Structure 1
Amino acid sequence: MSEPIFFDAPEPVQLSEIAAWADAEIVRGEPGQLISGVAPLEDASAGALVFFDNTAYLKQLETTTAAACLVAKRHKDKVPDGVAVLVCADPYRSWALVLAHLFPQAMRPVEPGEAFISDRAIVDPAATLEDGVTVEPGAVIGAGAEVGAGTVIRANAVIGRGVKIGRDCVIGPNCTVQHSVLGNRVYLHPSVSCGQDGFGYAMGPAGHLKVPQVGRVIIQDDVEIGANSTIDRGANRDTMIGEGTKIDNQVQIGHNVVVGRHCVLVSQVGLSGSCTLEDFVAIGGQTGVRGHVTIGMGSQVAAVSVVSDDLPAGGRYGGTPAKPVKQWFREVAALRKLAERGGGS
């Protein structure tokens, strides 16, 4: 069986062009040197570009056979002789910029070619699709839905009645989108569910009475949502996802949640109904946020934490319940000492 290759190898590029893309300075190497690909530090062949920004990989850097390395100024002297050095402020960010130029098809996983609507898709006559929309086999688009130019609806996705989707979006395979309004350049990875009922019940001894969920989901521009994540529509107001926010796989967002701009939610985060994340909040994996709390702008919450009260802006928090990290670390250290003392008695 032949080796499967899913992304075409880039054409060789001069080091000077790589430096321009990366906003980097060539401090060692010839501007005309050709770069023919990218690789990890430990598996780089002649012509490959690598990056280094974590001292945990120092041994791999010391033995790399790459052609060139993106590196911060403080680490430039650690790059082996014979490897061109490109100094930049943030090697990982520069790496991302270079990859976007070398592998543009990996930025938006849509095969090149003319837009088309498959004869095996079902598009209601009352739906409105701008020119340049692609609808793959098995997709369903309901009455009154609107889809903007350049958007791709992948195989077996379901776009519900009245849904509005902006331009240059990607709706991944097996996604379901209902009661939702999406901006431009929104990317839903496979099997995202968006706009379904929020979890609302009036509990009582006679049984649990379902509370109708009559809000929407509003997703602003440049949001990316990972595979198998779920976003419930609002109960009596809208669930909101702010522009530029990035959401990992298997994240649950409850009804009436407001997520600000440029937030980052890592895998398996759970946001309970009516909580609010202000702009630039970052939450580590498997963290839960209680309903009706607010996490202030720019705050960071460590993985596997529980946020049960409001958190002020700009802080770093962790633990159960979440608290400032310095306090959390002191409590963990004190508990460890207490356990050690008890074990030796």
Structure 2
Amino acid sequence: MAEPVFFPFATSLDFGEVATISGTTLPDGAPMDRRIEGAAALETAGPSDLAYMDNPKYTEALAATKAGLCLVSPRFADRVPAGTVVLVSPAPYHAFAKVLARVFPSALKPESAFAAQGVAPGAVVHATAVLEPGVTVDPGAVIGPGAEIGAGTVVAANAVIGPQVRIGRNCSIGAGSSIQAALIGNRVIVHPGARIGQDGFGFAMSPKGHMKVPQIGRVIVQDDVEIGANSCIDRGASRDTVIGEGTKIDNLVQIGHNCVIGRHCVICAQVGLAGSSTLEDFVVLGGQVGLAGHLVIGAGAQIAAQSGVAGDVPRGARYGGYPAQPALSWARETAMLKSLLAKRGRKSDAPEG
């Protein structure tokens, strides 16, 4: 039985085309018309493959690679073996991504399982829903009353689009996801199992019990946002939850009601944002970061993985630890604690008397 190819190579490129796409220059004497037919890691790449390297951990793999063409940063250019043509780039990973987007376009976002436009048998589209030409709806998907979906958008199998939801053009709505009380921009990717627009965790607590508070806001997702598999974005309580343009959200992320996420933020897996948190533009949250509610994380700030943030973070700051604090203070505190523990250990090992 032949092994399936999940992401077919859309087109081969000659070395000159790769250099143009990646914004690099071929070295003198390199064969302009030689072609790449695939892309692979340094260890597995062959003479017709493109590879890249920008991490010193892989220096040995670079020296042994058999890739036909390799993108590297300037400091590693002299480590490329003689049989591999080198393309020097200040950002080889970014350059590699540009080339892969050209030759593996089907890997950029979830696609229809049936690869055919239109409403498939087994899908349910309400009579009052409006779908522009070129929308694809897979079997089992449900489009609610009054929903509107733009041209080129794919709604994968068993996804549920709630009443009055608006989804822009060229979006990808993954299998088994659900969207309600939301306005979605253009070129948004929602991966399988994501939940957008369910009510937030809001209760008026009292000794006699906890009264559920109606959540009457929306979720606004701006253009070019990506939302990872099984992530949840609650709708606002009294105002909207907002996800800014170009923000990328990993799998298994929880964003509470009334949160406002700025433009081009990066939120890694298993992050949890309590309600009414605000991230300004270009914030980065490492995996498993937790934010208390009603905080402001300033533009360009970065929070290290597994940090617990209990207070506001200034613009451009680097924080880490639990509770989170400036990274330098956190490093000093950790070093001091190790030193104290080491001293205590030496004392306990010393002979008595």
Q: Which amino acid aligns with 1:77?
A: D
Deviations 1:27-74 (Å, cap 9, x if unpaired)? 252222221211100111121111010010011011111111101112
2 CA distance for matches of 1:10 and 1:231? 34
CA contact (8 A) 2:279 2:299 kept: yes
Q: Which residue pairs with 1:92 in the alignment? A: 93
CA contact (8 A) 1:10 1:36 kept: no
1:136 and 2:138 correspond: yes
SS at match of 1:25: coil
2:161 to 148, 159, 162: 159
Q: Which amino acid aligns with 2:14?
A: Q
CA contact (8 A) 2:165 2:183 kept: yes
Q: Which residue pairs with 2:215 in the alignment? A: 213
Q: Which residue pairs with 2:231 in the alignment? A: 229
The equivalences for 1:23-102 within 5 A come to 23-27=23-27, 29-102=30-103
Identity over the aligned pairs, expressed in percent?
54
2 CA distance for matches of 1:50 and 1:166? 35
Q: Which residue pairs with 2:110 in the alignment? A: 109
Give 1:187 deviation, angstroms.
Answer: 0.6
- TM-score normalised by L of structure 1: 0.98
1:187 to 186, 189, 198: 189
Q: Which amino acid aligns with 2:131?
A: L
2:297 to 295, 298, 316: 295
SS at match of 1:337: helix
Gaps of 5+ in 1: none
Give 1:152 deviation, angstroms.
Answer: 0.7
Give 1:109 deviation, angstroms.
Answer: 3.0
1 CA distance for matches of 2:216 and 2:120? 33
1 CA distance for matches of 2:237 and 2:10? 48
Over the residues paired in the alignment, what is the CA RMSD in angstroms?
Answer: 1.1
How many correspondences in the alignment?
A: 345
2 CA distance for matches of 1:11 and 1:104? 10
2 CA distance for matches of 1:113 and 1:286? 36
- TM-score normalised by L of structure 2: 0.96
The equivalences for 1:263-274 within 5 A come to 263-274=265-276
> Structure 1 stretches (4+) deviating beyond 6 angstroms?
none
Q: Which amino acid aligns with 1:315?
A: A
Deviations 1:163-210 (Å, cap 9, x if unpaired)? 111111111001110000000011100000000010000111110011
Give 1:119 deviation, angstroms.
Answer: 2.4
Q: Which residue pairs with 2:350 in the alignment? A: none
